[in-house]
């Protein structure tokens, strides 16, 4: 059911410092920072030949990654995003198999302008999984 790895998201406390690591130390091509207030993050996109990395910095008081960074002050992998051909069919299949979809269960428009859903980490090997309509 799942297709390509769309991106790996890494939560960071300092987006400028993390961008410098990826740009200067790792030699990656990175975007400028983009604030996404509706998601509570500021994001930098890193384009690799076969996938993307997203650096996420908390934006606003109730950012969904604030608690993650309290537990992991150095930052860390926050979620992985897999593409699916039909997000509603994927959701229905997962729910039928007993997996938990976070939030209302209805897809939201994600950072790339496409519908996304998040799945409970406890059902997926301790990893928060994002599904994105391909």
The residues annotated as belonging to the active site are 130
The dihedral built from the CA positions of residue 103, 107, 88 and 122, taken in this order, carries a sign that is negative
- How many Å apart are CA 55 and CA 42, to the nearest integer? 8
Residue among 25, 3, 12 nearest 77 (CA): 12
Minimum gap (Å) between residue 127 Cβ and Co ion: 12
9 belongs to the binding site for Co ion (CB under 5 A) = yes
Minimum gap (Å) between residue 40 Cβ and Co ion: 12
Residue 24 or 109: the one with the smaller Cβ distance to Co ion is: 109
Contact positions with Co ion (CB under 5 A) in 19-78: none
- How many Å apart are CA 132 and CA 17, to the nearest integer? 28
Out of 18, 130, 131, 133, which residue is the one contacting Co ion (CB under 5 A)?
130
Q: Sketch the per residue contact string, 69 through 108, with Co ion: x for CB under 5 A, - otherwise.
A: ------------x---------------------------
Helix, strand or coil, per DSSP, at residue 40: coil
Please give the torsion angle defined by the CA atoms of residues 57, 61, 63 and 69, in that order, rounded to the nearest 10 degrees.
60
Number of amino acids touching Co ion (CB under 5 A):
3
Contact residues for Co ion, defined by CB under 5 A = 9, 81, 130
């Amino acid at each position: 059911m799942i297709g390509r790895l769309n991106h790996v998201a890494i939560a960071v406390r300092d987006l400028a410092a993390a961008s410098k690591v990826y740009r200067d130390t790792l030699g990656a091509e990175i975007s400028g920072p983009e604030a996404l207030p509706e998601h509570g993050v500021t994001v930098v996109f890193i384009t690799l030949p076969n996938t993307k990395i997203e650096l996420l910095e908390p934006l606003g008081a109730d950012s969904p990654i604030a608690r993650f960074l309290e537990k992991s002050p150095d930052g860390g992998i926050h979620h992985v995003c897999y593409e699916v051909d039909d997000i509603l069919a994927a959701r229905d299949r997962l729910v039928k198999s007993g997996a938990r979809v976070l939030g209302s269960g209805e897809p939201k428009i994600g950072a790339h302008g496409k519908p996304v859903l998040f799945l409970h980490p406890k059902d997926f090997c301790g990893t928060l999984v994002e599904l994105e309509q391909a």
